[in-house]
Chain A
């Protein structure tokens, strides 16, 4: 791929985790054969849907909050360059150092050099989608630096030599018995009589990581939000591993996708109300940390912020697909998706699975590199219904299908994979969606027999991305 300087650019291949080894239908078929996986997923997503629904019902202005979330994000994207400059100025004024990374390779190099400069050969990490996306752990390992994941689910994935399969709960595909086995096998010094009680498993993780927290000099985090007007970064978490990493080391390096910036301090109020209820089904998650540059006598003395593009500029360049950048990574769309519930996250190939992954990954890499993902959906509309910032995922899916290199082949492959799905539940999902009428005018209204090839034929978009791209390329 040729890169034009200063033009919106997709994420490079050969680094990071945005592209799968095989197309979605093939990977999904394998996952569908794993009954244990399906049971684990169904149990987990059913639990979370009930919890989330109950705490959302308590909020009298949930609809207004969602609308406000969407409005703030749309405004942010329209002013992204100026907001990032404002953020940079505010972080710098507070004693932080801001770095810019055009892609995964640059971001990995920046972080590796920052760690090297400290002399440390180990870093502790707070769960971060951005660092998974760019393959930071592999880059650090290649440089002789050991990355230690401290989030319980990430630890389960790392110890199990596994891949994350959910945005919020990367080990959602594992049940308690499997987790106990991984701990017994891989955790040095673990009690051989460890039970599979979640509390016992959590306690084992606490013992395992305690010394790491107290002795590691460098931490790497992501950020859920960055406030342009104040330079404040926020990490939303549960276990306290985030607090440990953000507070105890001498150096803190935060890698953040550029779309995470929000304009004002007051805007945090909208997202802090939306995110926990949509995400873990809590009124508020146990811990949220906010820091603004360096505070003498409290926390890290060196604070870095790496602003990452890695394909986001290309997403921004598509006026329909752009709203995928509004995502606050709550994972509600995964938890309600009938396709995700059957296939799990690995089938999507990218670190971003589920409905949001099906629209985000192909845009970050270019649709040709993830051509089957826009078809990894029944267009039932449950994701749009659940999304706390009202991202119209089905419309983006339809839009992206119009850009797939061989849409009929992709559609046929998906229809074949869909055949193996269990129909009674899809029937219910389709019935539910029929009431929404959302895809009317775009595709056939959801039929009640699951997926069909005909439904996967999108209405011709007025202009394809590539036509548009070619036109604007010649005009500038």
Chain B
């Protein structure tokens, strides 16, 4: 018997010999979320929850994403910025050296100060942004190696709860759910921000 057949045979024997004491309960009603995406109160909740987990949040009028990003980078002392190829051209600040990711080696990415991406979805209740490696977000390594991640979220992308985010995402894509900067609870179970992932997360909320 192959290991595969062996394991499956064991499991079938286990179930055949011992049916459940109580039958598996049927489906349990689940909260699906009832607030239309992008409502101002959802965006405000997202802002609060992001701040709670030490992300910094900025509001930018649609036309002024580049200016807001420039200010963030200047304040952080960042001089180099990597962007995915599909990032809207008018988001790129003119104030720093901008590198477009074309399969850059990891060491090169790690040497850049900051990364600017869009997002796929954001979850207000948990303060989470989800990247799905779309053209305006780039491959996963991009938003991982630079120490400062600036992420632009549009109101229409903000949903209330996790199940709504899953509904909008495509399972086959590589997904990264981000809630605040990298952190650890490994020392005395208290949360400390800043381990291996970006130590600073700035979220720019646009108005349209």
Per the 8 Å Cβ criterion, residues 116-170 of B in contact with A are: 123, 125-128, 133, 139-141, 144, 161-163, 166-167
- A213's nearest neighbour on chain B, judged by CB, is B196
Which residues of A sit under 8 angstroms from B14, Cβ to Cβ? 8, 313-314, 316-317
**Which residue in chain B gives the minimum CB-CB distance to A279?**
B185
Contacts of B107 in A (CB 8 A): 214
The residue that A202 contacts in the complex, of B30, B141, B172, B184, with Cβ under 8 A, is B184
Query: Is B189 within 8 A of A45, CB to CB?
Result: yes
Name which of B19-27, B61-69, B92-100 contacts chain A.
B19-27
A320→B166 contact, CB < 8 A:
no
Least CB distance from A12 to B in Å reads 14
Number of contact residues on A: which range applies? 35 or more
In Å, the complex CA distance between A232 and B139 comes to: 17
- B2, B24, B49, B183: the one contacting A71 at CB < 8 Å is B24
What distance in Å separates the Cβ of A364 from its nearest Cβ neighbour in chain B? 13
Complex contact A239–B182 (CB within 8 A): yes
In the complex, the answer to whether B8 meets A48 with C-beta atoms within 8 Å is: no
Bound-state CA distance A322–B17 (Å) is 13
Asked whether A100 and B7 contact (CB < 8 A) given A78-B15, A266-B163, A285-B179, the answer is: yes
With A and B bound together, what is the CA distance between A246 and B28 in angstroms?
33
Taking a contact as CB atoms under 8 Å apart, the answer to whether B189 and A239 are in contact is no
Which of B10, B30, B140, B176 sits near A65, CB closer than 8 Å?
B30
What are the residues of chain A within 8 A of B166 when measuring CB–CB? 265-266, 268-269, 272
Give A74 to B21 CA distance when docked, in angstroms: 11
Q: A297 near B: Cβ within 8 Å?
A: yes
B contact residues, total (Cβ < 8 Å): 78
A427 at the interface (CB under 8 A from B): no
Q: Give the residues in chain B near A320, CB-CB below 8 Å.
A: 21
Cβ of B89 within 8 Å of any chain A Cβ, yes or no, is no
A168 and B191 CA atoms in complex are apart in Å by 13
A33 to B21, CA, bound (A): 42
Cβ contact within 8 Å between B191 and A282: yes
Cβ contact within 8 Å between A283 and B171: no
Known contacts A203-B194, A239-B197; is A318 also within 8 Å of B18 by CB? yes
The one of A85, A201, A239, A284 that contacts B128, using a Cβ cutoff of 8 Å = A284
Identify 5 residue pairs between A and B in the complex whose beta-carbon atoms are under 8 Å apart, listed by A's number. A199-B192, A239-B196, A269-B166, A290-B177, A295-B174
